[in-house]
Structure 1
Amino acid sequence: MIANPNSTSQSPALFSSIVPTLMEVPDLHLLSKFTHYAGHAEEMCRAIVEDPDSDIDAVLVLGGDGTVNEVVNGLLGPADKPVESRRIPALAVVPTGSANVFARALGFPADAESAVETLAGTLAGNLTRDITLGTWNDRWFAVNAGFGIDAEVIAGVERARSYGFAASPLVYLNVSLRAWMRARREPPQISLQTRTKDGEEVVCEDIPLCVASNTNPWTFLGPLPVVTNPRNSFDRNLGIFGLSDISGIKGAAGMLHLIGFGYRKYFGQWIRQNMIRVDDVVEVTLSCHEPRRFQVDGESAGVRQSVVLRSVPAALKVFAPTVAHHKKFSRRPWQVVRDLVRIR
């Protein structure tokens, strides 16, 4: 088990409640390690796969999507020189990050206590599945990647966390609104060229918003799923979503559509005139007129001008429930307020 002590909801109390649940799984031998710096999880996983005497069957991530990304890259190695599949342990996850898109898309509950109970059952039953992953240049991603507004939001949230604020839904909403307003004044100019599994090619020039996702939903804003490509799943290739215009009422409506507004027949048709949606994409090239921030799995990946994303089916074996859990847990008003504005 690789635990990130800096993930949003990680705490000694949570850790001490998770371990006893896992230790009840028959024949489970658990070795726990904590990460101490960025990239540490990747280094530990790389050491596991490079050790010919390693007897580790699975790596359990106690963290968010960023930690999952590190573990995936450590287990699989460079995307252009993948590790032999027989040497790769399966991946398991208990969500303790902010959005936790990967775990929730696999069907785990959003809260860690419920998720670890579900995971214990999947471990006991050896319930695994092979999932599709994405690559960008020589790196892997599990959830999403993109230029533009989403990358600006990630950078803004990271700044807020550096000031002591947790990555709460209120912080994400505040940063997102600011990023959207900046993008309306100075819209990014993103070009994309895609190729689908069926050989269809889609080319778009100078659009202000474009994201690639490997999951459905694309992300979560607190309890709200942000859906870009409803047909997406870990069994298909990448989904590409874009907006041709983010100005005016139609642009605002297009953003709200992602979190569930405007699905009535005629209103939805009006909004979709502004949308670019391509499913089952095996390769896409994203490029900008000038270097822009780029994000991968909810973490900033620096400033780049172009990237090539590809889809790799059955790239990794993961533990996952056979039935998705969408447990709704009640919270008192003070708990809602706390989660909106909490400070670490």
Structure 2
Amino acid sequence: MRAILVVNPKATTTTGRGRDVLLRALRSEVDLTVEYTRRRGHAVALARTAARQGVDLVVTLGGDGTVNEVVNGLMTAGPSGGVGDRPPAERLPALAAVPGGSTNVFARALGLPREWPEATSMILEALRVGRARTIGLGLADDRYFTFCAGLGMDAAVIHRVERARRRGRVSTPSLYLRSIVSQYLVGAERRHPAIRLERPGETTDGELATVVIQNTAPWTYVGDREVNPNPDASFDLGLDVLALRRLRVQSTTRMVSQSLSRRPDPRGRQILRLHDLDEFTLVAEQPQAFQLDGDYLGERNKVRFTSVPAALRVIC
């Protein structure tokens, strides 16, 4: 089996020695080539080239951003390089995600252990016995995502965290909490809900303050604790949505508490939840912060979301 390991050298939870151990373990099972990413977007090109060369397996060592780039490279490996020329899952390399970032939502949502040595052992066992599953993806305009997207406050919080990390801060739950509080106090989302959700053949839902889209559950983690605003979201179904109509202190705090509970089921007058959607469009009166798989991608006025079923094989 031919495989490529795409390594983010800035992965936060591995060392050079750890990477050497991982390489030896993988080489005991596959014919392995190793590539290191050099810039943002590089993993897209590496994965696309690997798919076009007929590689059987792409392994990532990095966080959710690295996984997202590799997925987008695989899914655009057709002759035109566009989303309309997507090869079927069985003709694409399988994906194995070794957790190397700070949160690793995608790998953990697949049932892989949080620590990379244990996750690697589980992936190697799956390779030996031929265990894999095919999952659906989300598509936001022309970019795929694996587990979540957001327009509004959650994306603005991610932007704050990314800026803090560029200043040398470490990504921790406390950093996210401080960023949430800061954004809540100064963000325009609380005072001027500006997003509407449009579905074919359905009534438009308007005056939304922030929207979270999930392709699986959980949405994210706070340490070992799952955050589950849409607990029924699944790789095997369409997209789930949770939107807040108003970011009031009481209702927002209640939603967060419900999402963190052991039996999450967020409800309330300020909450809109939609399950298993094939497609919808978010339209904003003013540009809103936008994120996919935990990466801030700037501001958008309009994003069309589509569920892409049975899109990719994963080893887990």
- Same structural fold, with TM-score higher than 0.5 when normalized by the shorter chain: yes
* 1:285-338 deviations in Å (ceiling 9; x for gaps): 111111111101111111110100000100111112xxxxxxxxxxxxxxxxxx
Match for residue 236 of structure 2? 235
Match for residue 293 of structure 1? 289
Equivalenced residues, count? 306
CA distance in 2, matches of 1:40, 1:31: 16
Shift of 1:188: 4.0
Superposition pairs of residues 145-164 of structure 1, within 5 angstroms: 145-164=149-168
Q: Secondary structure at the match of 1:32?
A: strand
Match for residue 308 of structure 1? 304
User: Contact 2:251–2:268 at 8 Å: present in 1 too?
Assistant: no
Match for residue 336 of structure 1? none
1:102 to 106, 109, 126: 106
Superposition pairs of residues 316-327 of structure 1, within 5 angstroms: 316-320=312-316
CA distance in 1, matches of 2:57, 2:20: 20
Letter in 2 for 1:44: L
Gaps of 5+ in 2: 77-81
Match for residue 135 of structure 2? 131
Match for residue 226 of structure 1? 227
* 1:250-297 deviations in Å (ceiling 9; x for gaps): 22211222212896xxxx78x533321111010011111111111011
CA distance in 2, matches of 1:20, 1:47: 24
Shift of 1:149: 1.1
Match for residue 33 of structure 1? 35
User: Contact 2:88–2:311 at 8 Å: present in 1 too?
Assistant: no
Alignment of 1:207 with 2:211, yes or no, is no
Match for residue 280 of structure 2? 284
Q: Secondary structure at the match of 1:249?
A: helix
CA distance in 1, matches of 2:207, 2:268: 18
Match for residue 71 of structure 2? 72
CA distance in 2, matches of 1:108, 1:281: 26
Match for residue 91 of structure 1? 95
Match for residue 256 of structure 1? 257
Shift of 1:185: 4.8
CA distance in 2, matches of 1:187, 1:256: 24
User: Contact 1:246–1:254 at 8 Å: present in 2 too?
Assistant: no
Alignment of 1:167 with 2:171, yes or no, is yes
TM-score by length of 2: 0.90
- Residues 1:9 and 1:187: Cα distance change in structure 2 (over 3 Å): farther
2:199 to 186, 190, 194: 194
- Aligned residues with identical type, % of pairs: 36
Match for residue 327 of structure 1? none
Shift of 1:169: 1.7
CA distance in 2, matches of 1:87, 1:97: 28
Letter in 2 for 1:281: L
- Residues 1:71 and 1:307: Cα distance change in structure 2 (over 3 Å): same
**RMSD in angstroms over aligned alpha carbons?**
2.0
- Residues 1:149 and 1:185: Cα distance change in structure 2 (over 3 Å): closer
CA distance in 1, matches of 2:256, 2:59: 35
* 1:101-156 deviations in Å (ceiling 9; x for gaps): 11011110111121111111111112111100011111111111111111111111
User: Contact 1:4–1:10 at 8 Å: present in 2 too?
Assistant: no
CA distance in 2, matches of 1:202, 1:315: 29
CA distance in 1, matches of 2:205, 2:89: 36
CA distance in 2, matches of 1:10, 1:298: 20
User: Contact 2:58–2:96 at 8 Å: present in 1 too?
Assistant: yes
User: Contact 2:56–2:93 at 8 Å: present in 1 too?
Assistant: yes
User: Contact 1:61–1:93 at 8 Å: present in 2 too?
Assistant: yes
